[in-house]
């Protein structure tokens, strides 16, 4: 795989479109086991991201990702802001100096992003959080010499679906204990949209 | 003399305004600043608001941050990292209202930031 500035912008555009289209769905998932603001927060955050990146011109993928990070951190309001913000910031730092971003560099970017989410949220894999999508996706990148976009989407999807049967240990859902079982984790679903959009972007290049 | 400043971080502007009222009934010299809600005063927290509050609360002796839920803690940590100062600290796992009240009292005694933080932590370890 290779990721240019243009493709990165396309990736963001697709992610934003999915989040806006599924705003109510994300909110309903979060109403079941959280505080019900995930759809609203993500929609607001990514709308601001699009405003920011569409008004700017970029020389490097790193600079795009950095603007995404800063916008999400300041505009989202809920926990997804600092978590996604930290992820994009760490990814931005990891891919700095490589344009277009190649497969090993992007893998490093996902690894650093996941480390950032782990550090910031103090959660681990299996806690029914966005990590349950990010961790298997990272392993997928680490195991792939060349990235098959369909396989990427599949791993993100099955990982997201697997959060349904888990019990929440972190975040607002943790207060519900066993009652969180049977519901998808909203952060896993928005993370799925992110990687599904990346998959679609990579397919366009093929 | 200057005192260690306090920043109260909550998902709601009303929560931190109320806590500030309670503190200022007793403590008036200690700088207490609030960072409640998002930039639009909706429910949530904002790194920018927290950074601005830190700047107002810092009178040279550092600032201690108190928070309520989830994103408030994460945004407090981000604000500390962005400030790049080792005189800005977060009161981890401390109840917002009771903790900041104790913090204000301790700061008012002229203690430094580490002593204030230590006193706050001790106050809430004993109760458990």
| Cβ of residue A155 closer than 8 Å to a chain B Cβ | no
Q: Each residue of A129-141: b (16+ CB within 10 Å) or e?
A: bbbbbbbbbbebb
Tell me B85's DSSP state. Answer: -
Arithmetic mean of pLDDT over chain B: 94
CA nearest A35: which of A171, A196, A160?
A171
Range 18-77 of B in CB contact (< 8 A) with A? 37-39, 42-48, 69-71, 74-75, 77
From first to last of its 206 residues, what are the pLDDT tens digits of chain A?
899 999 999 999 999 999 999 999 999 999 999 888 999 999 999 999 999 999 999 999 999 999 999 999 989 988 999 999 999 999 999 999 999 999 999 999 999 999 999 999 999 999 999 999 999 999 999 999 899 999 999 999 999 999 999 999 988 888 899 999 999 999 999 999 999 999 999 999 75
**pLDDT mean for each 10 residues of chain B (128 residues):** 95 97 96 94 92 96 94 93 92 95 97 97 77
The answer to whether the Cβ–Cβ distance between B71 and A77 falls below 8 Å is: yes
Q: Taking the mean position of all CA atoms in its chain, how far away is CA A103? A: 18
Q: How far apart are CA A166 and CA A128, in angstroms?
A: 6
Tell me A128's DSSP state. Answer: S
Range 8-67 of A in CB contact (< 8 A) with B? 37, 41
The count of other CB atoms within 10 Å of the CB of residue A87 is 27
Q: How far apart are CA A112 and CA B3, in angstroms?
A: 39
Concatenated DSSP letters for A7-55? HHHHHHHHHHHHHHHTHHHHHHHHHHHS-S-HHHHHHHHHHHHHHHHHH
Tens of pLDDT, residues B30-49: 999 999 999 889 899 999 99
The SS3 assignment for B32 reads: strand
Tell me B94's DSSP state. Answer: -
């Amino acid at each position: 795989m290779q990721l240019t500035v243009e493709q990165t912008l396309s990736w963001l555009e697709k992610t934003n479109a999915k989040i806006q289209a599924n705003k109510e769905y994300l909110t309903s998932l979060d109403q079941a086991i959280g505080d019900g603001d995930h759809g609203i927060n993500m929609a607001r955050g990514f709308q601001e991201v699009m405003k920011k990146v569409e008004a700017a011109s970029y020389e490097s993928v790193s600079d795009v990702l950095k603007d995404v990070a800063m916008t999400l951190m300041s505009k989202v309001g809920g926990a997804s802001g600092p978590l996604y913000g930290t992820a994009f910031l760490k990814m931005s730092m990891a891919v700095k100096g490589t344009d277009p971003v190649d497969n090993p560099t992007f893998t490093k970017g996902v690894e650093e992003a996941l480390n950032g989410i782990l550090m910031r949220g103090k959660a681990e894999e299996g806690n029914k959080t966005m990590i349950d999508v990010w961790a298997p996706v990272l392993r997928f990148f680490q195991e792939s010499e060349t990235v098959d976009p369909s396989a990427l989407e599949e791993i993100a999807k099955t990982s997201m679906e697997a959060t349904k049967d888990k019990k929440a240990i972190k975040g607002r859902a943790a207060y519900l204990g066993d009652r969180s079982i049977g519901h998808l984790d909203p952060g896993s679903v928005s993370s799925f949209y992110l990687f599904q959009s990346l998959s679609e972007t990579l397919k366009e290049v093929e | 003399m200057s005192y260690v400043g306090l920043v109260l971080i909550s998902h709601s502007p009303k929560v931190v305004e109320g806590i500030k009222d309670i503190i200022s009934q007793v403590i008036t010299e200690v700088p207490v600043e609030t960072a409640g809600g998002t930039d639009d005063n909706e429910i949530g927290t904002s790194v920018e608001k927290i950074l601005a509050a830190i700047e107002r609360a810092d009178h040279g002796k550092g600032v201690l941050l108190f928070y309520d839920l989830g994103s408030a803690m994460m945004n407090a940590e981000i604000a500390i990292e962005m400030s790049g100062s080792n005189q800005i600290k977060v009161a981890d796992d401390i109840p917002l209202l009771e903790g900041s009240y104790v913090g204000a009292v301790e700061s008012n005694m002229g203690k430094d930031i580490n002593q204030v933080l230590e006193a706050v932590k001790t106050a809430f370890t004993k109760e458990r």
